[in-house]
């Protein structure tokens, strides 16, 4: 049976047997959040302790911690660690400091909704429990941060199962960016490949390198190859040829914000993959937790797209520049894939099919 607690714990063990799943945790004494520094992969697997606001802001901004759900989990723990420093303040001063830390952290990256979603959940704990006093609020904040993390684990496990139900042994799947356990807790768009491997299935994954920041090359090919998955790294401009060769049965991509009409913001280049897939008649699925669906956002035109430092394109990868210093550069981090190009959106509550505006709404209405 899919998604009973017993079957989820089996799914969890299967993924843990081949993948690194401890990418974010609270330190034992609650003084810091421990992350895997994703900027160091694949050259080193280094853990880093984050205990102050500025380092937390920088960790998100510089992509030491990245991937929409991972940013949300990190934000939850960070707000608790920062709040502990203010335990001697009156409720009013405690709340004011909390608000100011929250606003600053929220300004680190704009596109993934999971950041503000997690921060708002933490804030609600503070405002809903005013009468309980700061000490009690601190334990409730810790509880909420752990809950956000544990919920994400459960959502990922369900998404892995639903995603895998779309594949059969021997399929070829193209994926873009990184949406494995580093970016989430147990993987969304790339979790089904790990689960397939753990169950003895052979899925042939083609991973776009994902320009400009190479999350596909640095992170996805690292996570999948060390788990023994059959993964082939390609440059983004090779997606068309592998589709034309008949090697791709489906495309699995993640999401940073899904609008109410089903438009999906994901790593820059995702919309190009979907446009190509339509040409070749290949289904495209976006996989992500419902925490990534923003029902207050009507469509993709309302999603703020992060623009990043042009030097990420011009100079970041070698000691010498890769482009003339004075050349103009446009470096958006995400793009929006039109909902009409998607075959389905895979969430922990099941696979949502078109018409997305109606069916996404149903997904949330069922909760009430
Ligand atoms: O800029 P990043 O690396 O944070 O972008 C990540 C992506 O676009 C992922 O595909 C998305 O967050 C989904 S991760 C589950």
Distance 254 CA to ligand 1 centre (A): 7
Set 152, 256, 263, 294: catalytic member: 256
Q: Please report which confidence band the pLDDT of residue 367 belongs to, taking 50, 70 and 90 as the band edges.
A: low
What pLDDT is attached to residue 62?
A: 96
How far apart (Å, rounded) are the C-alpha atoms in residues 152 and 364? 17
Q: Cβ < 6 Å from ligand 1: which residues?
A: 63, 66-69, 112, 177, 179, 183-184, 188, 215, 254-256, 266-267, 288, 333
What pLDDT is attached to residue 322?
A: 87
Model confidence pLDDT, tens digit, residues 136-190: 999 999 999 999 999 999 999 999 999 999 999 999 999 999 999 999 999 999 9
Model confidence pLDDT, tens digit, residues 44-94: 999 999 999 999 999 999 999 999 999 999 999 999 999 999 999 999 999
Residues 6+ apart with CB under 8 A from 272: 236, 239, 335
Q: Please report which confidence band the pLDDT of residue 368 belongs to, taking 50, 70 and 90 as the band edges.
A: low
How far apart (Å, rounded) are the C-alpha atoms in residues 81 and 77? 6
Task: Domain ranges for the chain, please list them.
Answer: 5-157, 168-365
Within this chain, domains 5-157 and 168-365 share the same CATH topology: no
Q: Is position 256 annotated as part of the catalytic site?
A: yes
The answer to whether residue 366 scores a pLDDT higher than 90 is: no
Nearest CA to ligand 1 atom 13: 254
Which of the four CATH numbers 1.20.120.420, 1.10.357.10, 3.10.180.10, 3.40.50.300 does domain 5-157 have?
Answer: 1.20.120.420
The CATH number of domain 168-365 is 3.40.50.10470: yes
Model confidence pLDDT, tens digit, residues 294-316: 999 999 999 999 999 999 998 87
SS3 percent helix, strand, coil of the chain, rounded to 5, is 45, 15, 40
Question: For ligand 1, what atom is nearest to the CA of residue 187?
Answer: 15
Distance 31 CA to ligand 1 centre (A): 27
Give the percent of the chain with pLDDT over 90: 94
What pLDDT is attached to residue 315?
A: 85
């Amino acid at each position: 049976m899919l998604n009973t607690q017993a079957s989820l714990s089996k799914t969890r063990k299967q993924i843990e047997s081949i993948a690194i799943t401890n990418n974010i945790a609270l330190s034992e004494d609650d003084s810091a959040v421990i992350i895997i520094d994703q900027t160091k992969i694949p050259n080193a697997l280094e853990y880093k302790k984050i205990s102050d606001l500025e380092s937390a802001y920088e960790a998100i901004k510089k992509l030491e911690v990245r991937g929409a759900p991972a940013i949300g989990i990190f934000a939850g723990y960070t707000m608790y660690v920062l709040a502990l420093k203010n335990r001697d303040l009156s409720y009013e001063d405690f709340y004011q400091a909390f608000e100011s830390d929250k606003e600053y952290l929220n300004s680190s990256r704009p596109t993934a909704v999971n950041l503000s979603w997690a921060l708002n959940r933490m804030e609600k704990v503070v405002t809903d429990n005013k009468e309980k006093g700061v000490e009690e609020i601190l334990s409730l904040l810790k509880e909420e941060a752990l809950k956000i993390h544990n919920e994400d684990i459960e959502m990922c496990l369900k998404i892995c199962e639903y995603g895998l139900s779309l594949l059969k042994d021997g399929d070829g799947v193209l994926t873009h960016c990184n949406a494995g356990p580093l970016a989430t807790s147990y993987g969304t768009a790339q979790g089904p490949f790990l689960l397939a491997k753990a169950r003895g299935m052979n899925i042939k994954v083609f991973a776009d390198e994902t320009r400009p920041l190479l999350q596909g090359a640095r992170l996805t090919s690292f996570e999948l190859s060390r788990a023994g998955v059959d993964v082939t790294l390609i440059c983004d401009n090779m997606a068309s040829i592998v589709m034309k060769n008949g090697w791709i049965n489906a495309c699995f991509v993640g999401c940073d914000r899904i609008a109410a009409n089903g438009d999906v913001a994901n790593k820059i280049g995702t919309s190009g993959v979907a446009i190509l897939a339509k040409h070749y008649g290949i289904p495209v699925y976006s996989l992500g937790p419902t925490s990534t669906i923003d029902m207050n956002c009507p469509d993709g035109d309302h999603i703020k797209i992060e623009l990043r430092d042009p030097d990420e394109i011009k100079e970041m990868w070698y000691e010498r520049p890769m482009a003339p210093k004075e050349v103009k550069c446009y470096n958006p981090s995400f793009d929006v894939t039109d909902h009409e190009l998607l075959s389905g959106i895979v969430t922990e509550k099941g696979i949502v099919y078109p018409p997305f505006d109606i069916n996404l709404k149903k997904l949330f209405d069922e909760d009430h």
